[in-house]
Amino acid sequence: MTLLDILPSLRAVMTPRLDPALWPATTHVDDLGRVTVGGLALSDIADRFGTPVYVLDERDVRHRCRTYRELFPEAEIAYAGSALLTRAVAGWTAEEGLALDVWSAGELTVALSAGVDPRRIILHGSVKTSADLAAARAAGVGRIVVESQTEITMLAASCARRQNVLLRVDPELDGHAERSGPVHGFPPDHGHAAEAAARILAQPRLNLIGLQCHLGSQITDPARYATAIDRMVGAMADVRAEHGTILSELNIGGGHGISSTSGDACLDPAVLAEAVEDALDDACARHRFPRPRITLEPGRAVVGRAGVTLYRVAGVKRIPGGRTVVAVDGGMSDNPRVGLYDARHAVALVNRRGAAPVESVTVAGRRCEAGDELAADVPLPADVRPGDVLAVPVTGAYHHSMASSCNAVGRPPVVAVADGTARELIRRETVADLMQREVGI
């Protein structure tokens, strides 16, 4: 029995066990000290589906879709499927009125299988293969974002009917943002963007309807979007001046920052909405350009906080010098962002309330690799033991979508929870699945 069991009133004046900024909207701690999401104890989900397992709060996802629609009533909100795309997620976002971004023929197939209207699908990708473009043309996607001269040539030569396209322009902003790749469209200076626009406009089967940009990821300063809007509207005004064409759409991308550990800065969508509105009014007045329709592409901001990854503790090692390592049954194959981006995460014991004071520990994965530390210097109760269930919040985005089968260990399942029920969206990948690809003997 702990002091909290004897004097439960102390809970009201103690530091909260879970930071509400990091956990799904339906998170709760029950009378047994277990953490629940969607009305289900996470430890019960771990017992039923095994570990590691990705848990996704459907209500949280839908709530964030609705919030964006309410804050940007005149804009198009396109969910960035690269964050997490399953048939269920595609269906949820479509039902909540969002359009959808896809980055490959595979993602497009998932979206179409969920019944998403292809006219509300945008094809992205800094390197689109001929198979990607062929699939998009066959499906009749609403827009294709052109990112290279080669794509202009490939599309112009292969489109059987007129295709709406957006030209990706790099507004070349200074300042910190997590970059998502080395290629970000045509720079507006030195005539590169103007030349690309001219080539598209010269093709009878390509219909240039607007510009698109991407400013990076995990952006927390709305002023970056305001600056980008001014530069992009200026580029649209240049197209009008040179070619007499008025572009009607401005896609300002996504990259909206969210918190992954307590105290992290994040981007408030309400503040962003005010900044976008003011910047659009100012830019259109300054450049004397008619107001275009804005598209935003949140991905991580929609599903990131809705996701929690569960692990089973395999062992606890106390190293001379005071370091404690808690080893779990997952790691870099289901959470590669720690190694790739030096991502930081919180960790919580969720199958019970710890009976011992907290200590600083390192949570390590099952592989002998430098990048296989899920979290360093995180507080956990000192009585954590094998068999306990740990949860890592804010793992709904870029975890399942970037997972691998390293060491021939199958990728985890994705389980949706809502109103006291759980259902698999993606089943666990098995050794039999991996062996089906073996054709060498």
**Spatial distance between the Cα atoms of 38 and 107, rounded to a whole number of angstroms:** 27
Residue 65 bears catalytic tag: no
Q: Are strands 76-80 and 293-296 parallel, antiparallel or unpaired?
A: parallel
DSSP characters over 284-325? HHHHT-PPPEEEE--SHHHHTTTEEEEEEEEEEEEETTTEEE
Which amino acid is it at 36? T
**Spatial distance between the Cα atoms of 8 and 43, rounded to a whole number of angstroms:** 23
**Spatial distance between the Cα atoms of 411 and 73, rounded to a whole number of angstroms:** 38
Burial class (CB in 10 A: 0-12, 13-18, 19+), 357: exposed
- Look up residue 90 and give its two tokens: 């595609």
Helices (H), 3-142: 3-6, 42-49, 58-71, 87-95, 105-113, 130-139
Residue 317 near residue 328, CB atoms below 8 Å: no
- Look up residue 392 and give its two tokens: 């890592």
From the list 266, 284, 368, 406, the catalytic residue is 368
**Spatial distance between the Cα atoms of 227 and 218, rounded to a whole number of angstroms:** 17
Residue 392 near residue 309, CB atoms below 8 Å: yes
Q: How far is CA 199 from the centre of its chain?
A: 33
Catalytic residues: 368
